[in-house]
Amino acid sequence: MKNALIGPILGLAAAAALTSGLAACSSAASSASHPAATTRPVTAAAGARTLHFIASDEKGNLAQEDLGAKSPAGGPDIGDIIAFTQTLTSDGKRAGEVHVVSVGVDHTRHLSECSATMSLDGGTIQLAGIVSMDPTFTLTVVGGTGSYAHAAGTMDFDGSGDIQKMTVSLTAGA
């Protein structure tokens, strides 16, 4: 994507040079799509799980609206909306998708409220939280379905490099 309006995975930025997907939701740093993950899922202590993904933009699967007053070049403004889907890979193989919607909620600090659903084999993981214009951020795992029913934990996003990394840390019982 070559726009300039995605601030969180999820915010929104109405600037001239935009990035892609979740990275665009949090920063104006460019990020390339890479189809292969370089890390594998690992198991942590008694029932806790950590899942590693690489997120890649799905061409043509992005919508954004700069609602209300024109957003400043520095980021999303109140009421701005972005929605998109990205493909998730793990260990070089397709693992699912993440579907994201984000709404600008703070004019001064360029914050957005983000909601996302990771659709994976065996179920979904639901994410939510406030995202700033930083290329790294954390969302809360607020639930899930199937093998992720009653999921809890966090999702750390890192779009500071050439790839968009997502690390989901599920607590015991999830």
pLDDT 10s digits, 62-103: 998 888 667 666 567 888 999 999 999 999 999 999 999 999
| Reported pTM | 0.75
Give me the architecture of the 21-170 domain, per CATH: Beta Barrel (2.40)
pLDDT 10s digits, 26-37: 433 333 333 333
Mean pLDDT of the chain: 76
Distance in angstroms between the alpha carbons of the first and the last residue of the chain: 35
Given this model, what pLDDT does residue 75 score? 65
**Rounded CA separation 142/70 (Å):** 32
- Strand-pairing partners, residue 112, are 104, 131
Given this model, what pLDDT does residue 1 score? 31
Q: What is the DSSP letter of 147?
A: G
**Rounded CA separation 155/169 (Å):** 6
What percentage of the chain exceeds 70 in pLDDT? 67
Per the model's pLDDT, the better-predicted residue between 24 and 36 turns out to be: 24
Average pLDDT over residues 128-155: 94
